Amino acid sequence: MASPSEILDLAYQRAAENIKTSFIEATSIADGVEYVCRNLQNRAGVRLLMACLLAKVDRPEVDVRKPYTEIEDDDSFSGRTYDEQYITPFIHDHGLPCNPTTAFLTPALRNRNATLTPDLNLVGRPPRLYQTVLQLLTDVHQGMVLFHRLRLAFLEAYQELVLVEPESAVSQPLKEVFLALRQAAESRE
């Protein structure tokens, strides 16, 4: 298993090699990530998202929405530790436009011990930034990012199975529905 620093370096390398290609197929999720990353009013959202996602990749068993050890659940973790130990040097090494210090000491995020869900009111500006980060963390927790990544592969495999079998028991209208779904998924790329 790669270390958190190696995970960040691999992600950076992959992104740099594919700078014009989004790895996120779901439009709403991609739009949310872009909003958080490009928001110049408040850069804490980027660091919060990076720290939580790094923890999830490093330790898949954690709940990406629980970056506080004070929660004291088996699936909670220290987001501040990931932020300070791994995100800070990564940001400095690559000259990324982020806060120089951890997101977990900002007023909206310090002294928390609650799961970060969309119904939590993080008092910070702009409010939409925090709501977007909370929704993205929930999307990751619910597997929505993985679902959207796998959707096209599933549709391709199913189409191959169903459409190339002219004698299959699947009706022609159902075959046409799956073809339309695949074409719609491809048109979003």
| Every domain of the chain and the residues it spans | 4-142, 149-187
pLDDT for res 62? 95
pLDDT for res 163? 54
pLDDT band at residue 99 under the 50/70/90 scheme:
confident
Q: How many CB atoms lie within 10 A of CB 139?
A: 22
Q: With the CA atoms of 15, 18, 23 and 25 taken in that order, what torsion angle do they form, in degrees rounded to the nearest 10? A: 150
Residues recorded for the chain: 189
Helix/strand/coil for 184: helix
pLDDT for res 21? 78
Average per-residue pLDDT for the chain: 82
H helix and E strand count, the chain: 8, 0
The pTM is what? 0.76
Please say if the pLDDT value at position 89 is more than 90: yes
pLDDT band at residue 141 under the 50/70/90 scheme:
very high
